[in-house]
Structure 1
């Protein structure tokens, strides 16, 4: 370990001198750290931009597939009796029908009540349907224990201890499923305290929907109150008895909202680039993307994807479907204009956005944007992905160099301390020698 007494002999501020020398020695490492910090800012900016492009890909993809373009909506004239939802596979039309029965779960109650929940009601194994509840499951055999055992079993029923009057608790069993097939039997041989279970609270029954009243009338049954087969692509949820009419139409508003979301995603990406491409004269600070050709190129690619003509559609331009570009380079979406165009010519509008010709320049707007976003973000090959990985790789190398510099600087500082320590030692010796010589000369003078 190198030790020194700061300027004890020389009077020099050796610690200050060493500090200044080390500041000079650190300059190469500081430049490496500055480069690393600059790289990290670029990485952060591109990671944010990457998320913006992924959002574009998601929004563009949302216009395709089963739940994308061609959205349908269903409405009910009696929502208190029937609720309806439609998928994109539904077809326009309407159907009137009458809900005659709602599906119900089979439910029974014991014929005899007991005084309390702790009363022993089970003296041995008992069976519900094909499931046997054993003594190991119901424990002390009390009503509360029997209820717990049934609910924990695979019998397919829910058990409840119901107080029918003061000091009288009965066991009620209700099927978890609904419909005719929900009926079950109870072997109550070892439940003598509860009597039998012949008392039906609710008869398990299928839902029944009657369509029409003439010679061609027909009925549809369902074990549950959810019907998915009466109207293709439409799910009906039965809520009450009575007449209802369900209508299915194209959901132009839903499709418009998806297009609007895509436009917003594009604007978000462009804004992310623009906001970091300027120069602040007051602070003399340049934006991360000011001279970054990749970022500016991606912005132009997005703009071209939206504004270029689409030869696969008779509309040719997004302007006919409500998309326009402002002086700031951002896009506006006129939902009313879009829905009007969609109702007038759904095929042309669909082609304008979704045409997939295999030639990017001829593809629809959404398809172009999807491909642009995918090309930019795909790990290993995407432009943004490669830019991020390139900077990360450089930073990893810089980190190794910075670490090496830590060791070199530590050695350099140790050497400086040794040199100044040696200087102090040498000066101390010289001073001692001078003092000795002065003493000797003084002695010579005294002897004369």
Structure 2
């Protein structure tokens, strides 16, 4: 609304002050409407917080009841320094012993010593070919990949040769090691397994003649032969080209870390750690929503009425809270409940509102029978599980026609009507102020005129009296 800017003239009447005071009374209904708008905005925001927390509860309940959660598998081993692993949901529960005789490795070559910084002395080529060496290390069978040929110049140093090998894209890398006797070229295959050995041919003479390892000549030393991992599962011999053995046991990946001197027990079963984490996530999501519902609707006799919780008196909030608390205290037909697995509504540290507490010892005991636990929480196909009920309730509450959405829409409609009333009243008050200002300005002008006339008459009367 525009401010008042016209002072009185002539009469001394303070038009601005008079109109301002009268308009402050006239604006009171507008201020009430504006306060109501602020309250509606606060309620809409509060319901938004509840919807967000309800969505988080639905997600936590959905995760806890999904088939993937209950079919997820976990591998435990008797020696995590020797073998670890992972399993897919298709893996069957199993127990077996594993012994690692040797780990998979890649081929490595070492050259003789060269003077530091010495060049090749002659131009030529190095050809790298991946493949398989026989047991004696003299017969080589080329693999399916094409050979890689590198051009070497006479001025290339050993470091230049190493760089060209590493950058060749052949899957073979090289490095120069500076020792007490001189420089040595170390060449290594990046992949493990007997099929990933390699030959290294050199042509052109000069120092290149000392960089060969193929069937025609071996001026380099093989420091490690490419080899498969060799291990046994319950006495059955198995090999793997890498130290990550996949699907030797269907659905299971074994990470071989070192050789063993005794069998290592391996167990494939329900992923109890993941289940425990999801139960805790559900507990946290429930308590966050439960606490939010309580704090947003709580009555505090010690506060002024204008400072009370924004959703005090909102029946939908109390209804949601009571329903949710009741749902986590329900039982199935056989009498089983969430209390039996350690989830129970209790007062927490003197708090007025109870929270969903978790007894981890009870939960650990319940995890020893995953099928029974799944039936309780997710259902068995014939009977809906207790957490499934919470999941469905949370979804319905947040749906387009759910209690939260319906109440929010009602508030938004009220806000719209209130805003229309504010705009209409503001328009009326602006017109009222303009009219009032004109009236008092006219009064001010009349009073100024009367004051001037009075002064004239007084002056005339004074003159008459002198005469």
TM-score interval, normalised by the smaller of the two chains: 0.7 to 0.9
* Cα distance in structure 1, aligned partners of 2:455 and 2:74: 107
Change (3 A) 1:437 1:57: same
Change (3 A) 1:144 1:299: farther
* Cα distance in structure 2, aligned partners of 1:47 and 1:166: 73
* 1:208-251 superposed Cα distances (whole Å, 9 cap, x missing partner): 22335xxxx53222232222313344332111112422233555
Report the equivalent of 2:259: 241
* Cα distance in structure 2, aligned partners of 1:191 and 1:19: 106
Offset at 1:371? 0.6
Report the equivalent of 1:227: 245
Residue 35 (1) aligns with residue 45 (2): no
Report the equivalent of 1:263: 283
Offset at 1:353? 1.5
Report the equivalent of 1:84: 85
Helix, strand or coil at the partner of 1:307: coil
TM (normalized to structure 2)? 0.73
Residue 207 (1) aligns with residue 229 (2): yes
Helix, strand or coil at the partner of 2:267: strand
Report the equivalent of 1:331: 356
Q: Which segment drifts farther, 21-30 or 363-372?
A: 21-30
> How does 1:279-318 map onto structure 2 within 5 Å?
279-285=299-305, 286-311=308-333, 314-318=334-338
Which residue, 384, 398, 406 being the options, matches 1:377? 398
Offset at 1:368? 0.5
Unaligned runs of 5+ in 1: none
Tell whether the 8 Å contact from 1:77 to 1:246 is kept in structure 2 after alignment: yes
Change (3 A) 1:356 1:271: farther
Change (3 A) 1:125 1:386: farther
Q: Which segment drifts farther, 162-171 or 18-27?
A: 162-171
Report the equivalent of 2:134: none
Offset at 1:365? 0.4
Unaligned runs of 5+ in 2: 130-145, 214-219, 348-352
* Cα distance in structure 2, aligned partners of 1:142 and 1:233: 49
Tell whether the 8 Å contact from 1:75 to 1:246 is kept in structure 2 after alignment: yes
Tell whether the 8 Å contact from 2:40 to 2:411 is kept in structure 1 after alignment: yes
* Cα distance in structure 2, aligned partners of 1:60 and 1:430: 84
* Cα distance in structure 1, aligned partners of 2:389 and 2:85: 35
Helix, strand or coil at the partner of 1:235: strand
Report the equivalent of 1:363: 384
* 1:338-364 superposed Cα distances (whole Å, 9 cap, x missing partner): 444554x65443222211657xxx521
Offset at 1:281? 1.6
Helix, strand or coil at the partner of 2:328: helix
* 1:172-198 superposed Cα distances (whole Å, 9 cap, x missing partner): 554444333444556766997766353
Report the equivalent of 2:350: none
* Cα distance in structure 2, aligned partners of 1:407 and 1:264: 50
* Cα distance in structure 2, aligned partners of 1:32 and 1:187: 91
Change (3 A) 1:149 1:39: farther
* Cα distance in structure 1, aligned partners of 2:443 and 2:185: 101
Tell whether the 8 Å contact from 1:109 to 1:197 is kept in structure 2 after alignment: no
Helix, strand or coil at the partner of 1:297: helix
Offset at 1:149? 7.4
Change (3 A) 1:356 1:98: closer
Helix, strand or coil at the partner of 1:30: helix
Tell whether the 8 Å contact from 2:9 to 2:445 is kept in structure 1 after alignment: no
* Cα distance in structure 2, aligned partners of 1:60 and 1:10: 78
Tell whether the 8 Å contact from 2:342 to 2:362 is kept in structure 1 after alignment: yes
Offset at 1:269? 2.0
> How does 1:95-174 map onto structure 2 within 5 Å?
95-108=96-109, 115=116, 130=146, 154-158=169-173, 161-165=175-179, 172-174=186-188
Residue 350 (1) aligns with residue 350 (2): no
Offset at 1:291? 1.5
* 1:119-152 superposed Cα distances (whole Å, 9 cap, x missing partner): 89998998766587999xxxx9888788777767
Change (3 A) 1:147 1:423: farther
Helix, strand or coil at the partner of 1:279: coil
Tell whether the 8 Å contact from 1:116 to 1:168 is kept in structure 2 after alignment: no
Helix, strand or coil at the partner of 2:80: coil
Tell whether the 8 Å contact from 1:112 to 1:196 is kept in structure 2 after alignment: no
Change (3 A) 1:126 1:399: farther
